[in-house]
């Protein structure tokens, strides 16, 4: 009877927590609009829903939902191990090696010493004996080392960063998170011995080495099993569930080993599930053919895992002590910051990096997230006396790191010239113009059709002058190579559209230059090989695949011939046009109050890169790009009204 009641309570708690987690997913989007990390939204939602505010999540929930933490931690370890791909580290291995050494050793040693010397200022440390203070200090120093590969990857992808500095940063980031879990496994065992009051002897050392050896051996065994799971010919969703549960089994095995060893041997043998999972993931990533599929599964699953983990972390924070330790959190944040700067110079000097890299080398390593939070939750559960206060302080430090870290990382990439994000486009100059690269029958036909619609067109070619009959009605520009200087000489910075009809490599070079330096509104690419699709998509290019374009066009003609004819401009005196709103007098006016010609229909509105399906109450904003269909005369009238 009691067991059934406990099962019912667990079911109710889990159901309620899932509802709160779903709400956290929605609430976090508000934080993202304010340029705050998503995990901040998850943690704040957990705090608000927790026992100190709305009480939707009761006190002590971790005793019932501890498996959510363990399941998440195993997944976080999988994600950390999967980032360490040895082939990608070889090109900058010397710099990565020494910078990892500088960041790891200096941050850990100096950070641990700093925490030990201010122990009397930290509420949960001041009443501990000297050896216990050493234990807490080395655990804090270990967490100082942890970085966030996911945050680093997000910044790199956002800025399209590339270069030697970026390669070194990414290598150091993933290598540090791999090593920090090994370091944590050792230091946690040492801390347990110190805090329990047992003297260090040969048995203690042998036991720690035995636990570490067992964890590493089990990690490789798990790696072989994980590779076998990846080989299953089943749907991805079932394979994902299998991977997540397999990771959780490392924690079940850890609990079983600890309980059994205590019962039969009289002492605990504590294997480290995090270490097991990270080695297993490393094995699959580097020594199997399933790396790409494994990374995809981790990437697609991580949002769901992180929502539950970070929300539960927020709900278990001791908010009543948060304000009292906020000053200590700032001090610990500053200690970690100083060690990062020191580590940057030490590692840079040993690696013989440029001085400019050393000056900015500490900025990318500030941000923390999953691994650091995961380690703090393990400490909280291992040392219930002071562990929860420890975790609360660490979470406060992590939040500070989340605020400061990404902007500083972006700043360093910008100062070192490795920021390749999209340039701000120039405003509409009143002339609809396009540049077409590639001279052939299709490009000539396209140029003539655009000219007939009152577009100004330049046709660029690498062919030699006189090697072909130049069309008299089209402006032809001869170029030997496409560089930024060539594009600027053609006034590409004022051009609305660039059409690329060369080889994929040449097309990519043009799009890359236009994206990074010109911010061209529309890049149109005729694709040659389908495997290059994602490369152009990352540059926000509009891609025309000849192998599927005709089929798609015929499909639309079959299903909707009138609409297709209209959109293609085949109907008499009917056309579609994208018009940018520049007239401030129209700003804020709903479409239903806008006086439009009777033969005009607004199809959609593009605002800040997002498409909006318009309706009568949609209010126009300056810089909106409005897609309209109607007669040419009416479209000209709207263009005039929308212009400044």
Which of 118-122, 244-248, 347-351, 621-625 shows the lowest mean pLDDT across its residues?
A: 621-625
Mean pLDDT score across all residues of the chain: 82
Average pLDDT over residues 520-547: 84
Q: Mean pLDDT over residues 553-564, rounded?
A: 69
Q: What is the pLDDT of residue 227?
A: 92
pLDDT recorded at residue 3: 46
pLDDT band (50, 70, 90) for residue 566:
low
Q: What is the mean pLDDT of residues 542-546?
A: 84
pLDDT of residue 570: 60
Q: Which two tokens stand for residue 486?
A: 């060539």
What pLDDT does residue 77 have?
83
In the chain, the percentage of residues whose pLDDT exceeds 70 is: 90
- Element housing 508 (H / E): helix 504-513
User: Tens digit of pLDDT for each residue in 37-52?
Assistant: 677 778 788 888 877 7
Taken in order 108, 109, 114, 117, the sign of the CA dihedral is: positive
Predicted local distance difference test score (pLDDT) of residue 61? 67
3-state helix/strand/coil string of 407-476: HHHHHHHHHCCCCCCCCCCCCCCCCCEEEEECCCHHHHHHHHHHHHCCCEEEEEECCCCCCCCCCCCCEE
Q: For the residues 318-339, what does the mean pLDDT come to?
A: 83
Strand-by-strand arrangement of the 456-461 sheet: 475-478, 456-461, 433-437, 497-500, 522-526, 542-544
pLDDT score for 572: 62
Q: Which residue has the higher pLDDT, 58 or 78?
A: 78
Backbone angles phi, psi at 424, to 5 degrees: -75, 125
The whole-model pTM stands at 0.69
Which tokens in the block code for residue 357? 């890299």
- 120-124, 179-183, 207-211, 618-622, range with the lowest pLDDT: 207-211
CA atoms of 481 and 492, how far apart (whole Å):
15
Contact 71, 252 (CB under 8 A): no
Q: Are 482 and 437 in contact (CB under 8 A)?
A: yes
**Predicted confidence band at 565 (pLDDT cuts at 50, 70, 90)?**
low
Res. 571 pLDDT band, cuts 50 70 90? low
Q: Tell me: the pLDDT tens digits for 342-360?
A: 999 999 898 888 898 888 8
Q: What is the pLDDT of residue 229?
A: 92
Helical H runs in 149-268? Answer: 149-159, 164-196, 202-230, 236-265
Mean pLDDT value of segment 596-603 = 76
SS3 610: strand
C-beta of residue 393 within 8 angstroms of C-beta of residue 372: no
What are 273-324's pLDDT values in tens digits?
888 888 899 899 889 888 888 988 988 888 888 888 878 877 777 777 667 7
Q: What distance in Å separates the CA atoms of residue 250 and residue 238, rounded to the nearest whole number?
A: 19
- Does the pLDDT value for residue 221 go beyond 90? yes
> What's residue 28's pLDDT?
77
Weakest-pLDDT range from 222-231, 241-250, 338-347, 387-396: 387-396
**Of 130 and 644, the one with more pLDDT:** 130
Tokens 């993931």, residue located: 281
- The answer to whether the CB of 490 falls within 8 A of the CB of 460 is yes
| Residue 4 pLDDT grade (very low, low, confident, very high; cuts 50, 70, 90) | very low
Strand partners, 433: 456
Angle (nearest 5°) at CA 399 between 393 and 403 = 145
* Structure tokens, 291: 């790396």
Confidence of residue 573 (pLDDT cuts 50, 70, 90): low
The whole-number pLDDT of residue 543 equals: 87
CA distance 39 to 43: 6
Burial of 568 (0-12, 13-18, 19+ CB in 10 A): middle
Measured CA to CA, the distance from residue 44 to residue 52 in angstroms comes to: 12
- Angle at which helices 202-230 and 164-196 cross, to 10°: 130
Average pLDDT value for residue range 228-239: 90
| 436 or 38, higher pLDDT | 436
- In the chain the domains, ranked by start, together with CATH numbers, are 2-415 (1.20.1530.20), 433-550 (3.40.50.720), 573-642 (3.30.70.1450)
Name the residue with tokens 């959609």: 604
Report whether pLDDT(2) > 50: no
At 144, phi and psi to the nearest 5?
-55, -35
Which residues share a beta bridge with 523? Answer: 498
Q: How far is Cα 531 from Cα 332, in angstroms, rounded to an integer? A: 48
Q: How confident is the model over 181-203, as a mean pLDDT?
A: 78
Query: What is the Cα–Cα distance from 103 to 124, expressed in whole angstroms?
Result: 27
Answer yes or no: is pLDDT of 34 > 70. no
Task: Please give the residue that has the higher pLDDT: either 23 or 38.
Answer: 23
Distance CA 291, CA 88 (A): 13
Share of the chain above pLDDT 90, in %: 9
Quickly count: other Cβ atoms within 10 Å of residue 605's Cβ: 21
Confidence of residue 6 (pLDDT cuts 50, 70, 90): very low
How far is the C-alpha of 446 from the C-alpha of 436, rounded, in Å?
A: 9
Q: 7 falls in which pLDDT band (50, 70, 90)?
A: low
Measure the CA–CA gap between 113 and 119, rounded to whole angstroms. Answer: 10
| pLDDT tens by residue, 121-141 | 888 888 888 888 998 999 999
Between CA 169 and CA 351 the distance in angstroms is 13
**C-alpha angle 100/102/106, rounded to 5°?**
125
Phi-psi category of residue 432: left, alpha or beta, with phi > 0 → left and psi -120 to 50 → alpha: beta
Angle at 293 between CA 288 and CA 299, to 5 degrees: 125
For residues 120 and 128, what is the distance between their CA atoms, to the nearest angstrom?
Answer: 9
- Predicted confidence at residue 546, as pLDDT, reads 81
Indicate whether 325 pLDDT > 80: no
- DSSP, collapsed to helix, strand or coil, labels residue 330 as helix
């Amino acid at each position: 009877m009691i067991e059934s009641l406990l099962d019912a309570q667990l079911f109710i708690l889990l159901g309620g927590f899932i509802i709160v987690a779903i709400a956290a997913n929605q609430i976090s989007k508000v934080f993202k609009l304010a340029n705050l990390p998503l995990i901040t939204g998850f943690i704040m939602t957990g705090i608000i829903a927790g026992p100190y505010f709305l009480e939707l999540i009761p006190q002590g929930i971790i005793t019932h939902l501890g498996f959510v933490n363990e399941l998440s931690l195993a997944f976080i370890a999988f994600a950390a191990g999967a980032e360490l791909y040895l082939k990608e580290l070889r090109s900058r291995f010397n710099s990565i090696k020494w910078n990892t050494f500088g960041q790891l050793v200096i941050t850990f040693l100096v950070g641990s010493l700093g925490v030990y010397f201010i122990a009397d200022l930290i509420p949960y440390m001041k009443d501990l004996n000297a050896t216990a203070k050493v234990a807490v200090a080395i655990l804090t120093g270990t967490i100082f080392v942890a970085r966030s590969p996911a945050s680093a990857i997000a910044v790199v992808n956002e800025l399209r960063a590339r270069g030697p500095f970026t390669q070194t940063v990414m290598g150091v980031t993933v290598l540090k998170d791999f090593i920090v879990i090994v370091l944590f496994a050792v230091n946690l065992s040492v801390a347990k011995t110190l805090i329990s009051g047992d003297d260090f002897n040969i048995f203690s050392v042998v036991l720690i080495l035995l636990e570490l050896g067992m964890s590493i051996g089990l990690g490789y065994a798990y790696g072989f099993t994980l590779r076998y799971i990846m080989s299953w010919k089943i749907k991805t969703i079932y394979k994902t569930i299998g991977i997540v549960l397999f990771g959780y089994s490392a924690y079940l095995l850890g609990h079983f080993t600890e309980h059994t060893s205590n019962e039969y041997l009289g002492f605990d043998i504590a294997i480290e599930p995090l270490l097991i999972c990270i080695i297993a993931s490393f094995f699959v990533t580097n020594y199997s053919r399933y790396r790409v599929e494994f990374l995809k599964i981790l990437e697609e699953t991580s949002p769901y895992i992180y929502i539950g983990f970070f929300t539960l972390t927020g709900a278990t924070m001791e908010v009543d002590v948060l304000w009292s330790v906020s000053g200590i959190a700032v001090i610990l944040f500053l200690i970690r910051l100083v060690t990062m700067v020191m580590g940057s110079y030490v590692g840079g000097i040993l690696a013989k990096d440029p001085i400019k890299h050393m000056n900015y080398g500490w900025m990318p390593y500030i941000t923390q997230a999953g691994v650091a939070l995961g380690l703090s939750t393990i400490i909280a559960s291992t040392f219930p006396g002071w562990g929860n206060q420890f975790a609360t302080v660490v979470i406060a430090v992590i939040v500070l790191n989340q605020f400061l870290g990404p902007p500083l990382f972006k700043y360093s990439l910008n100062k070192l010239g490795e920021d390749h994000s999209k340039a701000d486009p120039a405003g509409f100059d009143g002339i609809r113009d396009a540049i077409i690269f590639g001279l052939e029958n299709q490009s000539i036909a396209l140029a003539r059709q655009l000219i007939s619609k009152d577009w100004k067109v330049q046709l660029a070619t690498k062919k030699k002058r006189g090697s072909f009959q130049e069309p008299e009605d089209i402006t032809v520009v001869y170029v030997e190579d496409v560089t930024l200087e060539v594009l600027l000489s053609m006034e590409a910075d004022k051009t609305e559209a660039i059409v690329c009809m060369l080889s994929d490599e040449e097309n990519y070079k043009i799009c890359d230059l236009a994206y990074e330096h010109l911010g061209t509104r529309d890049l149109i690419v005729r694709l040659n090989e389908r495997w290059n699709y994602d490369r152009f998509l990352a540059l926000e290019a509009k891609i025309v695949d000849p192998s599927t374009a005709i089929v798609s066009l015929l499909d639309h003609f079959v299903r909707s011939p009138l609409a297709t004819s209209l959109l293609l401009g085949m109907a008499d005196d009917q056309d579609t046009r994208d018009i940018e709103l520049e007239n401030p007098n129209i700003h804020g006016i709903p479409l239903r109050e806008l006086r439009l010609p009777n033969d005009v229909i607004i199809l959609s509105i593009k605002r800040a890169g997002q498409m909006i399906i318009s309706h009568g109450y949609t209010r126009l904003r300056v810089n909106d790009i409005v897609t309209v269909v109607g007669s040419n005369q009416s479209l000209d009238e709207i263009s005039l009204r929308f212009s400044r």
